[in-house]
Amino acid sequence: MITLSGIIGSGKSSLTEILAQELGTKAYYEPVKDNPVLPIFYKGNEIAAKKRAQGDKDATNPYAYLLQTFFLNRRFAMIKAAMAEDNNILDRSIYEDEIFMKMNTEMGNATEVEYDIYKSLLNNMMEELPFAAHKKSPDLMITIKVSYETMIKRIEKRGRDYEQIKTDPSLVDYYHRLLKHYDTWMKEYDASPLLIIDGDKYDFVANMADRVTVLEQIEHKLVELGNLSHDHLLNLKTKHSELLA
């Protein structure tokens, strides 16, 4: 089982789809379109930031805790389903979930009490995961690391209004904070082997040569971990040569 991680707009869903097609596996995607909380969460952040700027130091986003428990529930169900079978790929991992709640607490969008309750819930879920999913952790975690500039370009390209810094200038600070938290998370993650892909250097969506380079980085890592045979790797390399011909 492979899990993808990375900041908003890093290309997790795109790489998940590419990998699933490459390896002939099932892809699990985190639902966004049917998330009723996400748009109002972004609006709540904007309102809370304005209130704090006006002197209300205790102003919080009433939807921060709701959003994170919504995501946590979805991710737990998704990883259980994926871990119950072999050869699956998830476009988001439960292992990075705490980043968002921690950051929202630091920013004042959530309270320390909400954060403590959230952490307790997350820890209880993680303790149950090996029993519920018959597996302790992913075989490989892939993180797509991108700069602020790359992230913003991709966010603008996909066009979700509530994610745009032009619509909500407070997101500039939010996104910069999130990048710093992901840098720390990558250094501290130890639940499984981790492979970091340079999302600034490689455009694996539009550039076929870049796509092949990224795929081969992942596949060599899978061979190293014993999750992919050398024969399978050679077959994939032949396929790559045909794509680039």
User: Any binding-site annotation on 5?
Assistant: no
236 DSSP assignment: H
Identity of residue 62: P
User: Any binding-site annotation on 158?
Assistant: yes
User: Any binding-site annotation on 11?
Assistant: yes
Residues with catalytic function: 91
User: Any binding-site annotation on 163?
Assistant: yes
Q: Beta strand 140-145 with 88-90: parallel, antiparallel or unpaired?
A: unpaired
User: Any binding-site annotation on 21?
Assistant: no
Contacts of 84 (CB under 8 A, 6+ apart): 133, 134
User: Any binding-site annotation on 30?
Assistant: yes
User: Any binding-site annotation on 217?
Assistant: no
Name the burial class of residue 215, with classes exposed (0-12), middle (13-18) and buried (19+) by CB atoms within 10 angstroms of its CB.
Answer: buried
Name the burial class of residue 123, with classes exposed (0-12), middle (13-18) and buried (19+) by CB atoms within 10 angstroms of its CB.
Answer: exposed
Binding-site entries: 6-14, 30, 42, 68, 92, 97, 154-158, 163
Binding-site entries for ATP: 6-14, 154-158
